[in-house]
Amino acid sequence: MLSKRIIPCLDVKDGRTVKGINFVELRDAGDPVELAWQYAEQGADELVFLDITATHERRGTTIEMVKSVARQLNIPFTIGGGIRSVADAEALLNSGADKISINSAAVMNPALIEELAKAFGVQFVVLAVDTKLVDGRNMVHLNGGRLITELETEDWIRRAEGLGAGEILLTSMDHDGTKNGFDCSLLEKVAESINIPVIASGGAGKIEHFTEVFLKTGVDAALAASVFHYSEIPIPYLKQELKKHNIPVRL
């Protein structure tokens, strides 16, 4: 069985790592370059870097910061925010990214998924999906959660897989920053309905939440931010605890 991955996420705004609750009330969490180095040293399996205001501000991801973060890492590095074209993705790849994450641009232009997969390979393309319950249905949201779409989350994910997405980063906006646990019900349904890896995001608050998401759902990785940024859960200790529950992890 493949090892389950632990992935810290750096949400970056104005050159600083930030974290909020339900995508709002952002507070400073430190320097992204320093945090990237710390997580690589602690044994994180991968790192995700999201320029959370790039799409809203209609600009690309900050290339120089990407280069600075990449220089600190010996683990896979996914970058997202403001990617609208193959050229945007290529620039990030050349700056040190191993994978790119697309969200709003993919919804606006689904063909972009196919173009990126053909240009760089399926394994390069991570589809980020921000979902929120609206009248009992999980609906896709864009622009950092500011804009609701008419897309049902599970339908969109299945379509994206068919277009060439190689991995799904699924964030529950209802759970994000609450530290009440991942949305295991939704994650289980999504993981069972597709054949590509799923990264669980939104809601991690204690070690038991990571144990629960791996034991109850078929996700391949769990992503978190604040519990790592503020040293509430040390990554080496987390992995030791997961190992005790017979969850395969890389130590």
Give the type of residue at 78. T
Please say if 11 is a catalytic residue: yes
Q: Write down the pLDDT at residue 226.
A: 83
Mean pLDDT of the chain: 88
Nearest to 5 by CA among 34, 39, 33, 52: 39
pLDDT category of residue 53 using cuts at 50, 70 and 90: low
In 10 A of CB 158, how many CB atoms? Answer: 14
Which residues fall within 8 angstroms of residue 24, CB to CB, at 6 or more apart?
none
| Annotated active-site residue in 45, 88, 130, 176 | 130
| Annotated active-site residue in 11, 51, 88, 176 | 11
Q: Domain ranges in the chain?
A: 5-244
Residue 6: strand pairing partners: 222
Q: Write down the pLDDT at residue 23.
A: 42
Nearest to 186 by CA among 216, 220, 161: 216
In 10 A of CB 177, how many CB atoms? Answer: 20
Digit-coded pLDDT (tens) for 189-202: 999 999 999 999 99
The β-bridge relationship of strands 77-80 and 16-21 is unpaired
Helix (H, G, I), strand (E, B) or coil at 219: coil
Helix (H, G, I), strand (E, B) or coil at 155: helix
Token match 């998401």: residue?
213
In 10 A of CB 241, how many CB atoms? Answer: 16
Dist. CA 96–CA 66, nearest whole Å: 7
pLDDT, mean of residues 31-48: 88
Rg (CA), the chain: 16
Which CATH number among 3.20.20.70, 3.40.640.10, 3.40.50.11540, 3.40.50.10540 corresponds to the domain 5-244? 3.20.20.70
pLDDT, mean of residues 34-61: 75
CA 197 to chain CA centroid, Å, is 12
pLDDT, mean of residues 25-40: 71
Query: Encoding tokens for residue 68?
Result: 């600075």
pLDDT, mean of residues 129-157: 93
Digit-coded pLDDT (tens) for 66-108: 888 788 788 999 998 888 999 999 998 998 999 999 999 999 9
Query: Encoding tokens for residue 140?
Result: 């896709």
Query: Encoding tokens for residue 160?
Result: 């994206």
Helix (H, G, I), strand (E, B) or coil at 109: coil
Please say if 98 is a catalytic residue: no
Q: Environment class of residue 80 by beta-carbon count within 10 Å: exposed (0-12), middle (13-18) or buried (19+)?
A: buried
Is the overall model pTM greater than 0.85, yes or no? yes
